[in-house]
Structure 1
Amino acid sequence: MDVCVVEMNHSAADVNQKKSVEITKDKNGISQAILRNPRGASARVSLHGGQVLSWKNERDEELLFTSNKANFKPPAAVRGGIPICFPQFGNRGSLEQHGFARNRTWIIEDNPPPLQSFADSSSSDKAAFIDLLLKPSDDDLKIWPHSFEFRLRVLLSVDGYLTLISRIRNVNCKPFSFSFAYHTYFSVSDISEVRVEGLETLDYLDNLCNRERFTEQGDALTFESEVDRVYLSSSDAVAVFDHEKKRTFVIKKEGLPDIVVWNPWEKKSRVITDFGDEEYKQMLCVDAANIEKPITLKPGEEWTGRVELSVTASI
């Protein structure tokens, strides 16, 4: 594997930043950015899909799930990590499932326009971050005829928090609409020992019942069978408790009102070609998303969505 320190041209305070970001290539020749913080936590981001493939704490424990059967060779999306779902989530119309952003090659952007919001989350000189950019190809414009600039900042804080900030700008001459999700695969000990809090009393669309609308009745969501739901207008923080590993993931979000919860369970796992038959036990997707009410941008407008992931010890 080739390794080099990335020479980024960010302003002033980035001597420490340069030391904390490396560019590598995987066995397929795909460039990846390795982010490290001073305490030993790390994150790995592939330029194929702008996808976070790994997030480890300071004890080198992997926090994201990736299937043992995942295909890392383009143009396939990798089963696991945090795929970026844009310009749609799901499988509707002529676009491929979950859109095309997760299947395209992104570039490193050395001098992105300044963030107009969320500035505090990237101001620490001890944070490691990478800025990526995606623009539509001619082929993309044939299937989705809208010009855009998609900027993604992936940031690993000194505390080990993982933050993703997406900015999508309409550089078209007409409005366009899209849906979006950070399709986050959390690594869990045993799905039967996991609960999700922060969804109580919310309405949700059940994809197992033709998107029929229901209201969550429980104090916490637990798992005994397949779940595929879009929780609507959720709070800005949701927690995933893993009782066996005694740790809690906290998902904080801005600009993303919905939460997707997905586990394929046993039957569906057997028909997903890049997913092991028993791997449903070790994963849970909890996605910060905007699905029910698509985002519409007028020419020149920009949308920003942010998710911050953290993990703490729990009793």
Structure 2
Amino acid sequence: MPQTIAELNSKFAIRDHITFTEDEPGLPKMRIATAASDATLYLYGAHLTQWTPRGGNPVLYLSPKSPLTAGKPIRGGIPVLFPWFGPRWNASEYDAAHGTTSPMHGFARTTVWTVDRVHLDPTGEVEVTLSLPEDEQAKAFGFPDFHATLEFRIGKELHMTLSVTNRSKEAVPFEEGFHTYFAIGNIHAVRVLGLRGSTYIDKRDNLTRKVQRETELAFSRDVDQLHVNTSEPLILQDPANHRAIHILKTGSHSTVVWNPWTVLTPNFPDLAEDSWEHFACVEVVNAADDRITLEPGATHGMAMAISVTSL
């Protein structure tokens, strides 16, 4: 049975710092306010929608038109994409055999996760561990014997680690991603560093494979690129907010960069007309060439660390 708000507050709430509410039906969330940061973490999708280091500007963008309705994904923040990224790679074969319809980006982002642990450090850093229920939905989509946990460390920096253990007797393939929407001041001035020399699949050009020649990736049109075999640190320069956002990743070998611009925004009813001007997605991922195949009894971890410095 899902944890109730009363149970969550009784077991995990910390006066003046951590509380659980359910302002929208079916979307329980955790509010965090400490000396280090303010944050909002929905248990629905294990979805962090707000993170603002104390004294700084919001780091994450949440669409003002996101429906915040059970059964629909939240648009913005950090969606957790699992156990596949984008369309399921074998959807036609699997769904035909099992009578299912595999949802875009997997089922983790529309599932209410279980709270396993909450800890507040004297420095104001909050540690939270959530686990993905091993329920009938997971079984229906072919993942009956796995265990997935997501650990957050939320403070002046943000750390997230998704760990997946294969409890079955067969190797299990899966994809995963932290689909982070970074709040930015001026998309025309934003630059992404750390991808030079990488090969990417250009989803806006018939999946053509190209090479990132420039040191800085700039935005001058709609962008949807999956950079394969990339593990280097990344920097998102946000001059309008006088800051650089640093992204370190481990256990991730793909990076996605996305912005819908004016071209694709009308296709997303949960984005405002001008949303594209206010965010840039730089995503820590394992997908396509970098899909994970997990052997029986093995555990794979993918981690992301985000910090902010003055530019």
Aligned pair partner of 2:11 in 7, 24, 36: 7
Deviates more, 1:100-109 or 1:291-300: 291-300
Asked if residue 86 in structure 1 is aligned to residue 90 in structure 2, the reply is no
Asked if residue 220 in structure 1 is aligned to residue 211 in structure 2, the reply is no
Asked if residue 21 in structure 1 is aligned to residue 28 in structure 2, the reply is no
Question: What stretches of structure 2 of length at least 5 have no aligned partner?
Answer: 96-101
Residue of structure 2 equivalent to 1:104: 111
The whole-number CA distance in structure 2 between the counterparts of 1:76 and 1:52 is 15
Equivalent pair of 2:231/2:250 in contact (CA under 8 Å): no
Asked if residue 198 in structure 1 is aligned to residue 202 in structure 2, the reply is no
Residue of structure 2 equivalent to 1:144: 142
Measured against aligned partners, the alpha-carbon deviations of 1:207-259 in whole angstroms (never above 9, x if no partner) come to 11232211101120001101000112224310000111111111111101111
Equivalent pair of 1:6/1:22 in contact (CA under 8 Å): no
The whole-number CA distance in structure 2 between the counterparts of 1:197 and 1:251 is 10
Count of aligned pairs: 293
SS in 2 for 1:7: helix
Matched AA of 1:270: P
Matched AA of 2:55: R
Equivalent pair of 1:33/1:44 in contact (CA under 8 Å): yes
Aligned pair partner of 2:259 in 247, 258, 263: 263
The whole-number CA distance in structure 1 between the counterparts of 2:247 and 2:135 is 32
Aligned pair partner of 2:268 in 268, 272, 289: 272
The whole-number CA distance in structure 2 between the counterparts of 1:306 and 1:85 is 13
Aligned pair partner of 2:51 in 55, 64, 71: 55
The whole-number CA distance in structure 2 between the counterparts of 1:107 and 1:213 is 40
Q: 1:165 to 1:19 in 2, by over 3 A?
A: farther
SS in 1 for 2:258: strand
Q: What does 1:140-219 align with in structure 2 at a 5 Å threshold?
A: 140-157=138-155, 160-219=156-215
Q: 1:280 to 1:32 in 2, by over 3 A?
A: same
Q: 1:219 to 1:161 in 2, by over 3 A?
A: same
The whole-number CA distance in structure 2 between the counterparts of 1:251 and 1:18 is 32
Asked if residue 298 in structure 1 is aligned to residue 303 in structure 2, the reply is no
Shift of residue 303 of structure 1? 0.8
Shift of residue 60 of structure 1? 5.9
Shift of residue 20 of structure 1? 4.2
Matched AA of 1:33: M
The whole-number CA distance in structure 2 between the counterparts of 1:109 and 1:97 is 27
Asked if residue 134 in structure 1 is aligned to residue 132 in structure 2, the reply is yes
Equivalent pair of 1:7/1:18 in contact (CA under 8 Å): no
Q: 1:296 to 1:125 in 2, by over 3 A?
A: farther
The whole-number CA distance in structure 2 between the counterparts of 1:287 and 1:18 is 34
Q: TM-score, normalised by structure 1?
A: 0.86
Equivalent pair of 1:128/1:156 in contact (CA under 8 Å): yes
Matched AA of 1:297: L
Equivalent pair of 1:37/1:156 in contact (CA under 8 Å): no
SS in 2 for 1:65: coil
Equivalent pair of 1:33/1:130 in contact (CA under 8 Å): no
Equivalent pair of 2:253/2:290 in contact (CA under 8 Å): no
Q: 1:42 to 1:252 in 2, by over 3 A?
A: same
Equivalent pair of 1:198/1:235 in contact (CA under 8 Å): no
SS in 1 for 2:61: coil
Equivalent pair of 2:120/2:127 in contact (CA under 8 Å): no
SS in 2 for 1:109: strand
> Identity across aligned pairs (percent)?
26
Q: 1:123 to 1:69 in 2, by over 3 A?
A: closer
Aligned pair partner of 2:30 in 25, 28, 33: 33
Q: 1:104 to 1:71 in 2, by over 3 A?
A: same
The whole-number CA distance in structure 1 between the counterparts of 2:226 and 2:71 is 27
Q: TM-score, normalised by structure 2?
A: 0.87
Equivalent pair of 2:80/2:177 in contact (CA under 8 Å): yes
